[in-house]
């Protein structure tokens, strides 16, 4: 006969060892205690994420010597991220005759992943620069933490480009880091001119276009006309009584459209004075001779007798950084003076 757990009264028949014919009955109390089941296979637990309670982890499997079920001892427990040994209780279906039994099993708690609510703002940089030269400010997430560039040593290029940042939670034990894309503005750099380039020649002054087009002799002067170029700043005229221009005089003009200042640069003592005017037909006239002498300059006219030979040529110039860049000399024209000394 099997007894359930509890206290029972039983009659025990006893005999004396010294007398075989004597027997007697004795009533005794018999206590039947609960049995402890054996756990042959522990159950397994599904992993949970930090912030969840043990109740969200499911127990499965597990085998015991009697029928029953496994459950967490404290299902409201919140664990930190990592692997933990947690108490599980086996409760037999026949709780009258079998005790509950506690065991420990492993449960994995994963790190939680925060959400970025607002991306940080990156300050603009000027090329050349690295990503780390830009300062990140602002930005927020569901948990406290900081934003940093992922590849701070990367060289940036001019324009607006997106670069990755990492959000690192202050509680890095229980929370994962997350990434976000932040626009970074890189301004173009203004180069520094350490040395200005030197100009050796102005190719757009066509020397073939610089020419004396007409020479007219008068009794008191010689009038010459030459083509006007729109892309030059002025002209220089040389005239001499020597074909090789060893003895010469230089006159300068400017290339204004309305009015021109009369100016004579004195290279020798005996010199005529140039009077320049612009015509509506885009030509320039220059007059050299007795009639147009500059009264403020003493002129020795012995080199300019009647029928003296006069050789003339001209060249154009362009002002570049305050310096005159000249074209080649035009072809030389020859005439003679008709005035008397």
**241 and 132 assigned to the same domain:** no
Q: Is the pLDDT of residue 51 over 60?
A: yes
Q: Answer for the pair 177, 190: CB distance below 8 angstroms, yes or no.
A: no
For residues 31-48, give the mean pLDDT. 91
Q: Give me the pLDDT at residue 281, please.
A: 37
Q: List b or e across 79-101, with b for residues whose CB sees 16 or more CB atoms inside 10 angstroms.
A: bebeebebebebebeeeebbeeb
Q: Give me the pLDDT at residue 126, please.
A: 94
Task: Among 110, 137, 152, give the residue marking a domain's end.
Answer: 110
- 184-211 per-position pLDDT tens digit: 999 999 888 888 776 554 455 666 677 7
pTM: 0.52
In the block, which residue shows the tokens 């050796």?
Answer: 200
Q: Give me the pLDDT at residue 88, please.
A: 97
**219 and 327 assigned to the same domain:** yes
- Name which of 294, 319, 335, 310 is nearest 235 in CA terms: 319
Q: Is residue 18 part of a domain?
A: no
DSSP result, 261-329? ---EE-SSSS----EEEE-TTSEEEEEEEGGG--TTS----TTS-TT-EEEEEEEEEEEETTEEEE---
**104 and 137 assigned to the same domain:** no
- CATH code assigned at 307: 2.60.40.10
Q: Is residue 218 part of a domain?
A: yes
Question: What is the percent of the chain where pLDDT is above 90?
Answer: 44
DSSP state of 154: P
**103 and 130 assigned to the same domain:** no
**103 and 123 assigned to the same domain:** no
Paired tokens of 257: 């459209």
**332 and 219 assigned to the same domain:** yes
Q: What is the rounded average pLDDT for all residues in the chain? A: 76
- 100-148 per-position pLDDT tens digit: 999 999 999 999 999 999 999 999 999 999 999 999 999 999 999 999 9
Q: Is the pLDDT of residue 63 over 60?
A: yes
**166 and 80 assigned to the same domain:** no
If one counts the domains in the chain, the total is: 3
Can you give the residue range of the structural domain that contains 97?
39-110
**160 and 248 assigned to the same domain:** no
Q: Is the pLDDT of residue 274 over 50?
A: no
């Amino acid at each position: 006969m099997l007894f359930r757990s509890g206290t029972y009264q039983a009659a025990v028949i006893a005999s004396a060892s010294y007398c075989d014919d004597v027997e007697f009955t004795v009533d005794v109390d018999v206590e039947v205690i609960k049995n402890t089941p054996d756990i042959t296979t522990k159950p397994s637990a599904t992993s949970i994420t930090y912030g969840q309670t043990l109740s969200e982890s499911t127990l499965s499997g597990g085998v015991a010597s009697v029928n029953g079920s496994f459950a967490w001892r404290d299902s409201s427990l919140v664990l930190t991220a990592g692997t933990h040994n947690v108490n599980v209780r086996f409760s037999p279906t026949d709780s009258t005759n079998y005790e509950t039994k506690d065991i420990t099993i492993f449960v994995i708690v994963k790190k939680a992943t925060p959400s970025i609510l607002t991306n940080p703002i990156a300050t603009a940089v000027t090329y050349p620069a690295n990503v780390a030269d830009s300062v990140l400010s602002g930005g927020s997430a569901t948990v406290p933490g900081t934003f940093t560039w992922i590849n701070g040593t990367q060289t940036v290029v001019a324009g607006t480009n997106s670069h990755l940042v990492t959000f690192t939670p202050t509680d890095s034990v229980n929370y994962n880091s997350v990434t976000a894309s932040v626009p970074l503005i890189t301004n173009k750099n203004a180069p520094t001119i350490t040395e200005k380039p030197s100009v050796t020649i102005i190719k757009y002054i066509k020397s073939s276009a610089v020419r004396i087009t007409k020479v007219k002799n008068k009794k008191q002067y010689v009038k010459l006309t030459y083509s006007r170029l729109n892309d030059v700043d002025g002209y220089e005229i040389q005239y001499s009584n020597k074909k090789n221009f060893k003895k010469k005089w230089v006159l300068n003009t400017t290339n204004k459209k309305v009015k021109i200042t009369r100016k004579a640069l004195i290279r020798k003592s005996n010199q005529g004075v140039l009077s320049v005017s612009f015509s509506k037909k885009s030509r320039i006239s220059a007059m050299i001779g007795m009639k147009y002498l500059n009264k403020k300059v003493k002129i020795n006219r012995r080199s300019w007798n009647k029928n003296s030979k006069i050789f003339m040529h001209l060249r154009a110039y362009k002002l570049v950084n305050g310096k005159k860049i000249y074209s080649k000399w035009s072809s030389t024209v020859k005439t003679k003076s008709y005035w008397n000394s």
